Amino acid sequence: MRVIGYARVSTEEQATRGMSLAAQAEKMRGYCALYDLELASVVEDAGASGRSLARPGLTTVLGAVRRREVEGVLVARLDRLTRTIGDMATLIDGYFGDKAGRSLFSVAEAIDTRTAAGRLVLNILVSVAQWEREAIGERTRDALRHRRATGRVYGHPPLGYAVAGDRLVPVETELRSIAEVRRLGAGGASVRAICAALTAGGFSPKRGGAWQPSTVHAILRRSRTCGQSSVPGRHFAPSGAPG
């Protein structure tokens, strides 16, 4: 059987997990030798997320499958192909299911979709992987909610404040900039006019440089939605933070 290999890494994974493109290709070559498969080529996506199927390398691979140039796709690990149940269902229905007639092989999970058992194992593994990601997301949200409730900083400090320990403390020069934005905005000045006036008046944004319309717009929007507080609620709990 003639198959095409697919390898993918994101920058973080390549640096921390050791599943480099070369390592994946080596695993696939060994798998083909063991199971008497012909590896036509290995197509790579470097620095690409597995959350979407819109990847140049994967598009090339699926095109080869669609044109019947190969009989199957081989990956070193299933999450190199996709990380979501919905995308996997799309791939199975369109390329690797009974009607499509092409096969999917995974080295790490020993998956071979030529059999019903292989397709069952595939669906179970993808379901478990998605459950794990959602569980991690829930734990992260719970942790952030606790930090917010106790008034502890868990993001970048907003304009007007700096971090001292795990609390926010006011920065007077930045608070004066916020007050000037509000004053100019209340007088009917446009966002771009406010940016120019702040720069001309010697007011400096948090990270230096020129004032950006997006920053001024965010301050004005926050003023309308949160009264006079200049600190976004996502950074602290009102009962526990300064200001």
Angle between helices 213-226 and 172-186 (to 10 degrees): 80
> Comparing C-alpha atoms, which of 138, 139, 165 is closest to residue 152?
165
Selection from 38, 27, 124, 116 nearest residue 75 by Cα: 27
Q: Interhelix angle for 172-186 vs 191-200, to 10°?
A: 140
Question: CB within 8 A of 62, min separation 6: which ones?
Answer: 91, 95
Write the DSSP assignment of 171-216 as a string of letters: -HHHHHHHHHHHHHHHTT--HHHHHHHHHHTT---TTSSSPPHHHH
Q: Which residue, 145, 143, 126, is CA-closest to 75?
A: 126
Among residues 10, 20, 41, 223, which one is catalytic?
Answer: 10
Return d(Cα 192, Cα 89) in angstroms, integer: 48
15 CB burial (10 A radius; 0-12, 13-18, 19+) = exposed
> Distance between CA 16 and CA 63 in Å, rounded?
31
Nearest to 236 by CA among 171, 156, 181: 156
Q: Is residue 10 among the annotated active site residues?
A: yes
User: Could you list the active site residues?
Assistant: 10
